[in-house]
Amino acid sequence: MAEGKAQQKSAYPLPAYNFHVTADGQSASFSEVSGLVIEHETLTYRHGLSDWEGETITRIRPMKHVQVTLKKGTILGQNFLADWLNAQPARGRALAISLCDEAGQPVVVWRIAEAIPTKLAAPTFDANANQVSIETLDLMVSGITVEHV
């Protein structure tokens, strides 16, 4: 028996290509977002009470900063990435990366409390290639949360 649209929608994963990024309420188009992980740092050490608790203790520290990479096509007259990097002092921004359904409505939103730009890479210039010009911005981020809408 064929599955209905609602059953397929709830049983199959969403495609990853339908997403949008919002920085401080300003929407921007990106071709790729990578490195978005929630990770806790672990610390293992030896201590003097090994008879009671074992030889080592492992502690989990609060979430650490991770590097997220944003890639965006170079568009004449749009300096969004360069302006953000060159802001003095470099300030953190709130980001929201939304994975959308076929209608363009957010379904899962990754919210970043603070994103600080650390590096802007120019596109690769190659006279033998016929590719789109892509800029890359690296961010150090903290305070990532996931919200299922």
Tell me, yes or no, whether 108 lies in a domain: yes
Indicate whether 102 belongs to any domain: yes
User: What CATH number has the domain bearing residue 95?
Assistant: 2.30.110.20
Task: State which residues form the domain around 101.
Answer: 13-148
Whether the Cβ atoms of residue 139 and residue 68 lie closer than 8 Å to each other: yes
- Please tell me the predicted confidence (pLDDT) of residue 90: 65
What tens digit of pLDDT does each residue of 56-66 get? Answer: 777 777 777 89
Dihedral angle sign, alpha carbons of residues 19, 23, 26, 30:
negative
For residue 2, being part of any structural domain is answered with no
Is the overall model pTM greater than 0.75, yes or no?
yes
Identity of residue 36? L
Distance CA 19, CA 16 (A): 7
Residue 104 domain-assigned (yes or no): yes
Please report whether residue 8 resides in a domain: no
The answer as to whether 3 is a domain residue is: no
pLDDT at 53 over 90: no
Q: Per the structure, how many domains does the chain have?
A: 1
Would the pLDDT of 79 be above 60? yes
Instruction: Identify which has the larger pLDDT, 27 or 140.
Output: 140
Percent of the chain with pLDDT over 90: 34
In a domain, 7, yes or no: no
Answer whether residue 105 is part of any domain: yes
pLDDT tens per residue, range 97-135: 999 988 889 999 999 999 998 898 999 899 998 999 999
pLDDT given at position 54? 63
